[in-house]
Structure formats: structure tokens, C-alpha cells
Structure 1
Amino acid sequence: MTTPNGPTLLGVDVLWVATLLAAVCAAAVVFAIYTALSVRDPMAKRVKALNDRREQLKAGITASTSKRRAKLVQKSEASDRIRSLLSGMKVLQDEQLKVAQVKLLQAGIRRKEWAVGVIFGRLVLPIVLGGIMGFLVYGTNSFAEWSPIKRYLIVAGSLILGYKAPDIYLKNAIQKRSHAIRKGLPDALDLLVICAEAGLTVDAAFARVSRELGKAYPELGEECSLTAIELGFLTDRRQAFDNLAKRIDLEAVRGVVTTMIQTEKYGTPLASALRVLSAEFRNERMMRAEEKAARLPAIMTVPLILFILPVLFIVILGPAACSISDALIK
């Protein structure tokens, strides 16, 4: 067995570890450069899909090509089979289906038939995860040293996790999307004020906002573009605003929708109302930023103690420890 030529720390060659870490850092830098250079426009594909859907609704067709029509029919048949299966088992409720559809819309998923898949996942995932975990716990010797209570708890936990997994996924997606929309809402209201004062109609103002803010806030740009499309072909303009409030799980958006509906109904000035809302949202965003900044010292205490200070001690005392170890070995 060959002994390391360089300095060692606890029997590990320091130069070899440093070379490995340098290679990892170089790979990370190359990946970061590639990611920065390969950024695509996040709004191009979404706006194109929305415009295609608008043209399809105007033309009264469901698909533009035979290939897409076959794909849609296949997906619809799959959802129909799942729906018939759940209906036969008496586990499909209309109220539960509507709640799942609303959650899918709030998560940015436009296909309402996937709500049947969410309910089907609640039924199947506990059986799958619970069956796998039950086989590993009771059918093999993987957890033989565990007590019966621990084995029961891990199986029960896998069952609960399987049942809650679709809801947890949708909840995380809704929160992430709502947070992204909340960040760009004051800027969108400022642009709406400018468009209203310039004499643009409401649907043209929403289309302009979607074009201007699509790259910075793609989720908000998508919602504004979809609202502009709905304002263009729906007979009841209030329904378009209600759909916007339904698709976004934010109290601020519901306030904007209420203001829009009131201005459409009573003819009140839109620009002044939106300017007041924009100022309130900016103050709220500043308060949230100040709150996060005030919590930062308390949050950083645990990572500082667990991760930063040990590394600092290793960097400071590491060379001295290597020298002492080499001196004792000689």
C-alpha cells in the first residue's frame, strides 16, 4: 500500500481532496455558463398556445390537425375510463371534482379532465406506496431490528403520504405560482394605469401588460394574456374577470377584479382606482421585504453554527493540524 506524498488530514490526502473539489467547482461553472446562455423566452410557447386556443374557439373546432385531434381524443378516452371506474366504485363526487379543477387552474394546469386523475391518485397511491412499504417491512428482513410500533408507524405514514401526495403537489405548485404573480402585480397595475390613461381599452391594456411583463413574470403575463383573450370573445366581460380571480389564489387579485367589475358597472375612473391599489401593493411588498430582513439574523444562526463555523475552523486550523500530524509521524 502506497503512502500519500502530500500533507494528510486524518489519513486523507489534502491535495487529492482539493483537486476533486476544484474539478467539481469547474463543472459547476461550466454548467452555470451553459444555463445562462441557453435561456429561452418563457412566454413565447404559452402565448402561442393561448392564441391557437382563441382561434380554435372562434372557428368552432377542437383541433387544428388530425394528429392533435387524435391525441386529444386519446386523453379524453383515458379520463373517461378513469371517471367510469371511479363512478362505479361510488367514490367520485361532483363537489370534490370541482374543488380539484379549481386547484388545477390555480396551479397553472389548464386541462380540467386531470381532476379525475387527482382523485384517482388519491385512491391508487396509498395502495401502491403502502403495499411496497408493507412488503419491505413485513415481507423482508429490512426492518427486522425495529420495534413493532415503529414498523406500523412507517407503513401508516406511507399510506397517509400516498393519499396526501397529490394535494401536497398541487398546494406547492399553487403557492409557488401565487408568489411569482404577487411579485409582479404592482408593476402590472402601473402598466394598466398607463394604458388606461393613454386611452386603451381594458382588453388591449391586458394584452399590452402581458407583452411587457411576460419575460420578467411569465405566470402573470400568461394570466393577463388569457384574460385579454377572454375579454375579446366572451359575451359577459364580468365572467372574464371572475375567471381571473378563480385562477389566481390571491386576495390582492380578487381586490383588483372587484375594482375592474365596479368600474365596468358604474363607469368610475379606472386609472385612479388602480393607482391606489398599486400604491397599497407596493407598500405591502416593502413590508414583506422588511419582515424577511428582520427575521434573517435569527434564521442564519443555526446554519452559521452548524455549517459556517466548522468550515472556518477547518480552514484556520487545518494547515497547523497537518503540520503537527506530519511532525508526529516522522
Structure 2
Amino acid sequence: MQPSDGPTLLGVDVLFVATLLSGVAAFAVLLAVYAIMTVRDPMAKRVKALNDRREQLKAGITASTSKRRAKLVQKSETADKMRDFLSSLKVLQDEQLKAAQIKLLQAGIRSKDWAVAVIFGRMMLPIFIGGPVLYLVYGTDAFADWSPLKAYGLVAMTFIACYKAPDIYLKNKIAKRSDAIRKGLPDALDLLVICAEAGLTVDAAFHRVARELGRAYPELGDEFGLTAIELGFLTDRRAAFENLAMRIDLEAVRGVVTTMIQTEKYGTPLASALRVLSAEFRNERMMRAEEKAARLPAIMTVPLILFILPVLFIVILGPAACSINDALLS
């Protein structure tokens, strides 16, 4: 490789480095433009699916009942096989199964068969994934240069991660769903207040709110719609509200449920109580937004130090360093 005639800094060709950085910057700009141009409306997919389904119903095209029945039977057979396998090993406990079902409900998964799948995954994932890793570490020479402590740490972390993987997945899904419900809860309470002042019953108000907010907040709309159905056919209306609090992992929803139960029990005005709760939730949402805004300067400190300041130093001090280097070499 022939030495370059251009300016150098510590033996590195400055023009080559500048060209490389320019290419990286151009690629980043193109990637940003592509990301901006390909932003999609989160409701477009749902609206398209609803329109397609409406067109199918108009044309009389519905799914075959036999295919649906076969699909349901196949799922139940798979769940029964997993249940029988876990029962034969004496590892399927009712408390554990109930806790998994509650987590699935909070994650928006209605099928109870998945609770058996979660427990089955906790037991089988360490065997299917941790077993090969154990063999690679101790049965082959792939990690022969590793220390015993590092090899043991890899195996232990693999087994722990495989065992916790279903719970971590459910926890992340619950957190995302709870955040989506938290954003729409103040609007839902405002609509409940309007419906209560208009003279609608509680179940009719929940049904109307679920219909109005179904597109903007589909998770909250599903929960309110299910609560409206339960209020219609359950003998104990309190059980419907308690089921709502169980399906949503939010303290705000528990407060709403407590207010609804007290209103049903003592006959207190529903609109005034819900109006107070709505104001509190809106203030809480505003405080959360202000907290994020106040935390932004501290978060931007690390990118500023790592990415922005070095570029400024190169741009400001680079030409001067090149001139001094050329003067010293000449």
C-alpha cells in the first residue's frame, strides 16, 4: 500500500477517515429518510381488517364451521396432551395454573389452554435449549479456553433465562397493554360521566364507551365491552367489576372498580365520583409527561458525550492538528 500524499494525523490518512465518516453520515441520513417516509398509521391495519371483514360478510363469505371446529379441537388436544404430561410428572398445581391464567388475562390472551403451555414451556425450554448448551460447554472443546467460572456462568444463565422466558414475555406484554389502557382511561371515564348524566345504565354506559373507544384504544374497548357483557348476564354485578380489576394490572383501574362497587352498594352519584377520578388521572398523566420531559436532559448527556462532542472536536481541532503535524514533519 503506497503512502498517501494527503494530510495525516498520528499516521492515519485524514482524507480517508473523512470520506469514511461522510459515507456513514450519508447512510444514516438515507436510513432516517426511509424511516420517516415509511411511518404507518397504527390504526390503518385494524381499519383495513375491519373493512375486509365487512366486505366478506356482505358477500356471504364466512369461515367454514367444520374448519373452526377442527381448529379448536386440535388446540384442545394439544393442551390436553401437555396437561396429561405435566400431571403425570406431578408438577401441575392449581395455584400455579390459576396464577398463569391471571397473567394471560392481563396480557390480553383469553384462552385458558395457554396457561398449560406457559407451565410446559418453563419446564421444557431449559431441557431443549439448556441441554445442548450444557453439552457444548462440557462435552466438546468449543469452550475449552474458557475458565471454569465462565463456563458455569454461561450454563447457569442459559438455564435461568430459558426458565424465565415465558414469564418475561408475559410481563412485557402486560406492561405494554397496561400502558395502552392507561393512556385511554381518562377519556373513557369522561365518556362514562357523559353516559351516566344522560341517564344510561351502567352496563349500557360501558357498552357505549367500548364502542366509541374501540378504534382509538382497542385494548380498553375490549375490556369495557367484556365488562358490559358480564354486567348483563352475571347475577352478582360486583363480580363483573372485580373481573375487570383482575384482567387489568393497574392501580387506576382498581380505583375505578372500587368506586363503581361503592356506587352500586350505597347508591351514591356515579357521575360526580367518576368526574373526580377522571381529573385525577389526567393530572397524573400530565405529571408523568412532565417527568419524562425533566428527565430528557440527563438522558441526552450520554449521547452528547459519546457522539456529538467527538465530532465537534474533530471538526474544530482536526485542521489545526493536521497543520501542526505537517509543520513538524517538514
Matching residue within 33, 37, 40 for 1:33: 37
Aligned equivalent of 2:201: 201
8 Å contact from structure 1 (residues 196, 271) kept in 2 = yes
Q: Residue 58 of structure 2 aligns with which residue?
A: none
Q: What does residue 165 of structure 2 align with?
A: 165
The worse-fitting range, judged by mean Cα deviation, of 77-86 and 63-72 is 63-72
- Give the Å deviation of 1:31: 4.3
Distance in 2, matches of 1:177 and 1:6, equals 57
- Find the aligned partners of 2:176 and 2:96 in 1 and give their Cα distance: 23
Alignment of 1:139-158 (within 5 A): 139-158=139-158
In structure 2, the residue matched to 1:188 is 188
Q: CA deviation at 1:138?
A: 2.0
2:154 is paired with a residue whose SS is helix
- In the TM superposition, what is the alpha-carbon distance from 1:305 to its structure 2 partner? 2.2
SS state of the match for residue 144, structure 2? coil
Q: 1:263 to 1:144 in 2, by over 3 A?
A: same
- Retained in 2: the 8 A contact 1:4–1:13? no
How far did 1:325 drift?
Answer: 8.1
- TM-score for both structures, normalised by structure 1: 0.82
Cα 1:110–1:228, aligned 2, differ >3 Å: closer, same or farther?
same
Q: Percent identity?
A: 72
Match of 1:241 in 2: 241
2:22 maps to which of 18, 27, 30: 18
2:216 matches 1:216: yes
CA separation of 1:200/1:16 partners in 2, compared to 1, >3 Å: closer, same or farther?
A: same
Runs (5+) with no aligned partner, structure 2: 54-62
TM-score (ref. length: structure 2) = 0.82
Residues 17/270 of structure 1: CA separation in 2 closer, same or farther (3 Å cut)? same
Counterpart position of 1:312: 312
Q: How much does 1:323 deviate? A: 7.6
1:189 Cα deviation after fit:
0.9
Provide the rounded CA distance (Å) in 2 between the counterparts of 1:215 and 1:329. 70
Q: How does 1:105-124 map to 2 (within 5 A)?
A: 105-124=105-124
Q: What is the number of equivalent residue pairs in this alignment? A: 316
Residue 282 (structure 1) shift = 2.0
Partners of 2:48 and 2:274 in 1: CA distance: 28
Q: Give CA deviations for 1:90-121 in whole Å, capped at 9, x if unaligned.
A: 00001100000000000111111100011011
Deviation at 1:238, TM superposition (A): 2.4
Equivalent residue number for residue 52 of structure 1: none
Give the gaps of 5 or more residues in structure 1.
Answer: 50-62
How far apart, in 1, do the equivalents of 2:227 and 2:214 lie?
A: 14
Matching residue's letter, 2:288: R
Tell me, yes or no, if the aligned pair for 1:181 and 1:217 is still in contact at 8 Å: yes
Query: What is the CA-CA distance between 1:231 and the residue it aligns to?
Result: 2.6
